[in-house]
Structure 1
Amino acid sequence: MQTFSNNYGDNINFRKISIFDRIISEIESSLSILSGKVESNRSNPSINISDKYLLSDEEKLFISKLMRINHVGEICAQALYRGQAFACKDKVIRDLFIEASIEEIDHLVWCSQRIMELDGRTSVLSPFWYVGSFFLGLMANFQGPSINLGFMSETEKQVEIHLEEHLNLIPYTDSKSRAIIMQMQKDEMHHKEVADRAGADELSNVSKAIMRIMARFMKEITYWL
């Protein structure tokens, strides 16, 4: 298993690393993420919660699809933040993105574990979502530090709302899934606060709308695939 850290080092080392080596490093990281060969730094919030109430096959299938959406969301978040960090030359901001990506790995693992418990499967389109999100992160970085951080802030805000929607959909009898989602929600709120404190600018209404449309498209496709 691979545990993620800030593999870019300080500003001096960052400048010395060739672009080729950095690309190879990102390819290795992406393969580890997409293959599931990563481990969380924190314990699964549901580890000590038992399935007190039996879920029907229909409920298990429905919840597994919702958790698949959440899993893909974490794939996208991981790729997004690594893309933003890849092109960022400011050590403080770069470390902020890397730290967020490390916590998103926890979410990724937790969702994957819950999907397996529910006899579900992850999305077959995960590589597509990862590549698209990574390049989106690269483009966000070129808008300047404040907009780059603003993109992170708005992303976390929309994810927080999305997770709240899932909490309203998942039966209260499924305490394990709910525990995972609630911890994810807390972490996303923290990431937004960090980005705001670091100087995030609010995105335009058009940018926010585009992000919502893209997220809706991803969720609709991932529910089935």
Structure 2
Amino acid sequence: MNMPRSRQLSPLDKLLSSADNALRTLTPGTTKAERQPRDDAPAAALKDPDRHHIAGLMRINHTGEVCAQALYQGQASTASLPHVRHAMEQAAREEEDHLAWCEDRLRELNSAPSKLNPLFYAMSFGIGALAGLAGDRWSLGFVAETEHQVVRHLEDHLQQLPADDQRSRAILEQMRVDELKHAVTAEGAGGAALPPPIRNMMSLMSKVMTWSTYRV
């Protein structure tokens, strides 16, 4: 007895899937976390300057997760090997937890995501698609470098958090664990080390995103 073959997605199917992912990523309240970071500490009574600063940090991290969704979806759309495409899609699903955690924390701080998210989503999707077209080794290398840079950002933000803000700390610490795992997985799957000029360009773009989303 012949088993039915899985249906291949048409270009229109892929376009609709990408559009659906973009809408879910950019619409507050539509992404739900499957996990929750461990946090047994009571909520801290934060002073207004601390609350404002923490909200800015969480807004940066939320936009970073928006970019991650777009990056992985863009790479999956052009990856040539099925297992690489699957890895990109799996990483995007895991990053959805981070997106929901940051959004929930912003709501708790009486703040909101950056208004620049649609722009950064579009830019990241295009970059991811180009990385996928360059070849799977380079695409995986791009993931690894991106995640290593995210880990460095998270470590910096953890140092900036007030000592009594255990809620935000639990979120960022679990994100750091997950992002490092994604980097190691991409390297182990054959990701190529990116040339220094590309790493420097990625770092510069990250600084632009960080500066702007903290404020807007």
Measured against the shorter chain, the TM-score band is over 0.9
**CA deviation profile, 1:63-83 (whole Å, cap 9, x unmatched):** 001000000000000110011
Query: Sequence identity of aligned pairs in percent?
Result: 38
Please name the residue that 2:35 is paired with.
42
> Alpha-carbon deviation of 1:43?
2.1
The size of the alignment, in residue pairs, is 211
Q: Are residue 17 (structure 1) and residue 9 (structure 2) matched?
A: yes
Please name the residue that 1:4 is paired with.
none
> Alpha-carbon deviation of 1:176?
0.4
Q: 2:114 aligns with which of 85, 110, 123?
A: 123
In the aligned structure 2, how far is the partner of 1:73 from the partner of 1:212? 13
In the aligned structure 2, how far is the partner of 1:49 from the partner of 1:115? 18
Letter in 1 for 2:32: E
> Alpha-carbon deviation of 1:35?
0.5
SS of 2:114's partner is coil
TM-score of the aligned structures, taking structure 2 as reference length: 0.94
In the aligned structure 2, how far is the partner of 1:13 from the partner of 1:163? 40
In the aligned structure 1, how far is the partner of 2:210 from the partner of 2:100? 19
Letter in 1 for 2:183: K
Letter in 2 for 1:105: E
Matches within 5 A, 1:104-119: 104-119=95-110
Q: 1:152 aligns with which of 140, 143, 160?
A: 143
Please name the residue that 2:152 is paired with.
161
**CA deviation profile, 1:133-166 (whole Å, cap 9, x unmatched):** 0011000011111111000000000000000000
Q: 5+ residue gaps in structure 1?
A: 1-11
Please name the residue that 1:181 is paired with.
172
Q: 5+ residue gaps in structure 2?
A: none
> Alpha-carbon deviation of 1:23?
0.2
Aligned residues: CA RMSD = 1.2
TM-score of the aligned structures, taking structure 1 as reference length: 0.91
> Alpha-carbon deviation of 1:49?
3.3
